Chain A
Amino acid sequence: MTGYPTAFAYRIARSVWVGLFFFLLLPHLAFAQPVGDYTGDPSAFYAQTKQLNQFIRRFNGEEALGGNRFYPGNALYHDRNLRKGYLETLFDLSNPELTPSLRNSFTQQALDKPFFLDFHGGNWFAEVHATVLYQGKEEDITLFMKLEEEKVGSEWVFFDVYFAPFDKLFASPDPEGLQPAFLHPLSHELDFMNLSKIFRNQQYLESYAAREFRPDHFTLFLWEAKRKALTFKGVNEVKFHFFQMDGWYIEVSEFNREGRNRGWLISQALPLESGQSDLLTRFILRK
């Protein structure tokens, strides 16, 4: 019984706020006319989260509904209700995996703790899908990039690569009848003279590598690019993976579609238990 007036008051306050949110947005939509005589309705462009920078500003409640930047000291900077309004619009609402209860759970934690995304806070990276020309054929490549702080400023750097042709090159299990099947344990007494045998069939050299060997796509990519065997053609798609919020992973992708739920949006959100973030990172990096 004691909770009822509070819940009721909350519902009233929420309704007032939602009304205010759209009311405040309206004047900005009214100004949304192109220069010239084109009369199309560009209000969706206002609603669209146009840059990742704007995604972070909206997520954190650092932007007025008209798009002006809020700075610390402004009354609405990081305002809970402003953030709540924004957070409800920052999910890809066409994705059935992002259920209302999942979105609500994420939003509540982001507001209650509270949690803010930090561009320079680490624990996030970009996944860049691109096309390269490799051995005369167009191939997809995935570059993983992160923001690295420098003495002055910061820069995006590669930290990993996934390239399917490299996987194929190393994917074969030890072939049957491979001769020699291994380098016997007393090879050292012969000054490893039997090494010459395994180099006669260089295709399966990795069969003689240590168990922990994993081909390093990043180094191979650099090598192939340096010797001009691989030519970069262009970027196709970019997405971002954030592990900044305790117990949550979010993926942010760009949606170029009709309607107002478009631009940079949360395309995946997963609650994480302890240790799962490393596992998920390895999965994303295809390790």
Chain B
Amino acid sequence: MLKHKIVLTLAAMLICLASLAQTGEITPERKRAIDSLALEKVRDLGRYITIIGNKETPFSEGNRVIDRAVELFAEGSEIGVSSLFRTELQYFPVRRYFERLMALNYDKVSVQWYKVQYISDLELQPDGRYVGIITIFQRFEGTTAEGMTYSDVTKKDITVYVERKKTQISGREIEFWDVLLGDIRVKETKAL
């Protein structure tokens, strides 16, 4: 059901963005459409992280969701993590990050996303793609079988690559804007 909803949403946005992709310029209206698609991908990532972190998720299902989550990202993307006590970044390839999340020794994992976000302007990079950063805040809570709870609040700065692509639909060439996630900077932050 969830997968069905995601596919429908993405298809609707693809059609919407295709109509806006007639020129290369990113107008404020097009920027808003791209922002929506990018945020939808970020929300997908959130859903996947919750499933991957949940101990009740069977191992094979967890690996399948990791594959889906990795598909959201551009190749070579990494996640850089720091804490309040260790400012130096630790880098993980995205797949490794998800595998570590799945292997966490918590009986129960809760990942909540604040409805606070900031989406940067899109900047053109030398390869012709646009890049932007979406900032979100997330609360993680893990409880062990013994009842010990660990929680943190992190600021996640998520890279978003936006690229104009072409596809064939019923023999017609349609241009559309595709969005892929890139490197993510995860910084533990003070909650209040």
Same complex for A and B? Answer yes
Interface residues of A, Cβ cutoff 8 Å to B: 31-38, 40-42, 44-46, 50-51, 53-54, 67, 69, 71, 119, 131, 150-155, 233-237, 256-259, 262
- In the complex, the answer to whether B192 meets A155 with C-beta atoms within 8 Å is no
**Which of B84, B88, B124, B133 meets A256, CB within 8 Å?**
B84
Contacts of B91 in A (CB 8 A): 234
What is the 8 Å Cβ interface bit string for chain B, positions 115-131, against chain A (1 contact, 0 not)?
11110110111111000
B137 at the interface (CB under 8 A from A): yes
Q: How far is the CA of A31 from the CA of B190 in the complex (A)?
A: 20
Q: How far is the CA of A80 from the CA of B126 in the complex (A)?
A: 35
In the complex, the chain A residue whose C-beta lies closest to that of B130 is: A153
- In the complex, the answer to whether A51 meets B126 with C-beta atoms within 8 Å is no
Interface residues of B, Cβ cutoff 8 Å to A: 28, 31, 46, 80, 84, 87-91, 110, 112-118, 120-121, 123-128, 133, 135, 137, 139, 153, 155, 157, 187, 189-192
Q: How far is the CA of A257 from the CA of B46 in the complex (A)?
A: 25
- In the complex, the answer to whether A45 meets B137 with C-beta atoms within 8 Å is yes
Evaluate whether A36 and B116 lie within 8 angstroms (CB atoms) in the complex, with A44-B192, A153-B128, A154-B124 already known.
Answer: no
In the complex, the chain A residue whose C-beta lies closest to that of B189 is: A256
Evaluate whether A67 and B118 lie within 8 angstroms (CB atoms) in the complex, with A36-B110, A40-B191 already known.
Answer: yes
Contacts of B125 in A (CB 8 A): 152-155
- Nearest CB of B to A204, in Å: 36
- In the complex, the answer to whether B88 meets A236 with C-beta atoms within 8 Å is yes
- In the complex, the answer to whether A40 meets B192 with C-beta atoms within 8 Å is yes
Evaluate whether A155 and B139 lie within 8 angstroms (CB atoms) in the complex, with A42-B116, A51-B133 already known.
Answer: no
Q: How far is the CA of A71 from the CA of B28 in the complex (A)?
A: 8
Q: How far is the CA of A181 from the CA of B32 in the complex (A)?
A: 70
Contacts of A50 in B (CB 8 A): 118, 135, 155
A-B contact count (CB 8 A): 102
Evaluate whether A155 and B126 lie within 8 angstroms (CB atoms) in the complex, with A35-B114, A42-B137, A53-B120 already known.
Answer: yes
Q: Which 8 pairs show the lowest CB-CB distances between chains A and B?
A: A153-B124, A36-B112, A53-B120, A234-B89, A45-B116, A34-B114, A50-B118, A50-B135
In the complex, the chain A residue whose C-beta lies closest to that of B125 is: A153
Contacts of A257 in B (CB 8 A): 190
Q: How far is the CA of A279 from the CA of B190 in the complex (A)?
A: 37
The 25 sampled A-B contact pairs (Cβ below 8 Å) are A33-B114, A34-B137, A35-B112, A35-B115, A36-B113, A40-B139, A41-B192, A44-B192, A51-B118, A51-B120, A51-B135, A69-B28, A131-B88, A151-B126, A152-B124, A152-B125, A153-B125, A153-B127, A154-B126, A155-B125, A155-B126, A234-B88, A234-B89, A258-B192, A259-B192
- In the complex, the answer to whether B121 meets A69 with C-beta atoms within 8 Å is yes
- In the complex, the answer to whether A32 meets B114 with C-beta atoms within 8 Å is yes
Contacts of B80 in A (CB 8 A): 234-235
Q: How far is the CA of A266 from the CA of B113 in the complex (A)?
A: 28
Evaluate whether A32 and B87 lie within 8 angstroms (CB atoms) in the complex, with A45-B137, A153-B128 already known.
Answer: no
- Nearest CB of B to A240, in Å: 15
Contacts of A256 in B (CB 8 A): 84, 187, 189-190
Contacts of A46 in B (CB 8 A): 116
Evaluate whether A153 and B126 lie within 8 angstroms (CB atoms) in the complex, with A71-B28, A237-B87 already known.
Answer: yes
**Which of A45, A150, A237 meets B114, CB within 8 Å?**
A45
**Which of A32, A119, A155 meets B116, CB within 8 Å?**
A32
Q: How far is the CA of A257 from the CA of B84 in the complex (A)?
A: 10
- In the complex, the answer to whether A53 meets B113 with C-beta atoms within 8 Å is no
